[in-house]
Homo-oligomer: A and B are copies of this chain.
């Protein structure tokens, strides 16, 4: 299956304790589509200004850019500053520019997409995209603190239709108002009721709706309704890949989500073992992503490199009881 990614496309300035980089290609849809394109034909949907010149990055990865609207004005810009631990970050400046009036309008052939990832943008825009998708099979969703606080109502509407919700640890706590992640997960999963999933629900082969909590360097915790309601436990607990040189964490979460969705779209296998496998590939992609500035590493990443790291990771995490 193809994967359609909708989200932001940005011009970032990234400041870490060690470096400063201007004019870094950024945005949630950028990282997500670059990662997804490792596995399947990927469509990117978003908006850029007439100053945008980086189409080549997508085209080299065979990403369909015909869903990118070009508007008069400047591309969305973001400037972020990371603390010494490279985990905490502060937004120094954010200019919506052409993104301010973005109205996603899918081309007829894009409306036929089966797998859709709604990367981090306003929930209102995510809803508009969903309305245009004719026959969804798998809908993934990400969000951010600002939407949890300022657009909760719309976010709940999107969430209701999502098969996979990919969200980070602090956002889960904020959204659910529960500190404990198991309690938080149960609350959030009860809000997910995707109609298309319910219709084709076969518990043996379908592991959705699922919630994947990203824990940064500490990996992830995954939950789904049927399994976690049965024994009160998550379905998957995976540590992160330990790295010696973290350069820039920007986009790692989006790359994770794109890799996850791309793997699921390509395999078309929504079983629990395959969802776990998708999580491990996505974790490797995120680990590569942070080893260079912006999406630089993703641009030249190959499946062979991912599989090599995954074999090391398997050795590192494996144990016999």
Q: How far is the CA of A314 from the CA of B181 in the complex (A)?
A: 20
- Interface 0/1 of A237-263, CB less than 8 Å to B: 111001111100000000000000000
Q: Which of A215, A237, A310 has the most CB of B within 10 A?
A: A237
B242 and A239 within 8 A (CB): no
Kindly list chain B residues whose C-beta atoms are within 8 Å of the C-beta of A314.
319, 321
- Interface 0/1 of A291-321, CB less than 8 Å to B: 0000000000000000100111010110111
- Interface 0/1 of A199-241, CB less than 8 Å to B: 0000000000000000100110100000000011111111100
Q: Is A56 an interface residue (CB 8 A)?
A: no
A77 to chain B minimum Cβ distance, whole angstroms, is: 29
Kindly list chain B residues whose C-beta atoms are within 8 Å of the C-beta of A307.
321
Q: How far is the CA of A319 from the CA of B221 in the complex (A)?
A: 13
Q: Is A150 an interface residue (CB 8 A)?
A: no
Q: Is A277 an interface residue (CB 8 A)?
A: yes
A242 and B237 within 8 A (CB): yes
Q: Across the interface, name the chain B residue whose C-beta is closest to A274.
A: B320
Q: How far is the CA of A160 from the CA of B306 in the complex (A)?
A: 38
Q: How far is the CA of A244 from the CA of B228 in the complex (A)?
A: 12
State which of B219, B232, B239, B311 has its C-beta within 8 Å of the C-beta of A321.
B311
A207 to chain B minimum Cβ distance, whole angstroms, is: 13
Q: How far is the CA of A231 from the CA of B277 in the complex (A)?
A: 24
Q: How far is the CA of A243 from the CA of B314 in the complex (A)?
A: 24
Q: How far is the CA of A85 from the CA of B179 in the complex (A)?
A: 7
